[in-house]
Amino acid sequence: MKKAFTAVHLEQGTPEWRAWRREGVGASDAPAIMGECPWKSADYLLREKCTPGAAPRQNAAMARGARLEPEARRRYMASTGHTVAPACLQSRRHEWLRASADGICFLTDALVEIKCGDSVYRQTARDRRVPRHYYGQLQHLLAVTGFEMLDFWCYLPNRPEVLLSVDRDEPYILRMLRAEEVFWERVQRGLAAPAAF
């Protein structure tokens, strides 16, 4: 059966990967577009997408999370038995719909989103549910892949890992895809005249 997406051969974190991300809507863009991101508005994201050479903001916590991700992925594989690897994915239906998966297995449809931050770990461990500001990111991954569920894995060294399964939310995905399409049309119009930050 043909997958809903294609794998794009890029290494995450490289300039080529950043350029590819700018040319579409990624999973980490979804919360801002849906108005659920406490750190970034849809308008700010629009300016980022429309400004040549604009680098996404990264703080110390994000850099630490990136450093911890390989170990978190190894721990996830040891815990679940799923063999996953990071991958860049692009929808076959919507060329602009993209995702950088923290871990995916193309044979078994295992998919994981990894978080290594103190705040997300504390909140997820306490509430046993995904923080609302990450929900759009997870549903975007499911929209790109067509998968029915994914794992949300929270990892910090020397603490018990937290694993939650997240089901596909079709009504949310339909709303999200409409919002993302409108957003991408705004980006396309704005690319001719970049806005200043």
Does residue 103 carry a pLDDT above 60?
yes
Give the three-state DSSP class for 162.
strand
Domain residue limits, the chain: 5-190
**What is the reported pLDDT for 131?**
97
Q: How far apart are CA 165 and CA 101, in angstroms?
A: 16
What CATH class is the domain 5-190? alpha beta
What digits encode the pLDDT tens for the residues 90-99? 999 999 999 9
**What is the reported pLDDT for 66?**
84
Residue tagged 């911890």 (tokens): 68
Cα 179 to chain center, whole Å?
16
Structural tokens at position 65: 């999370």
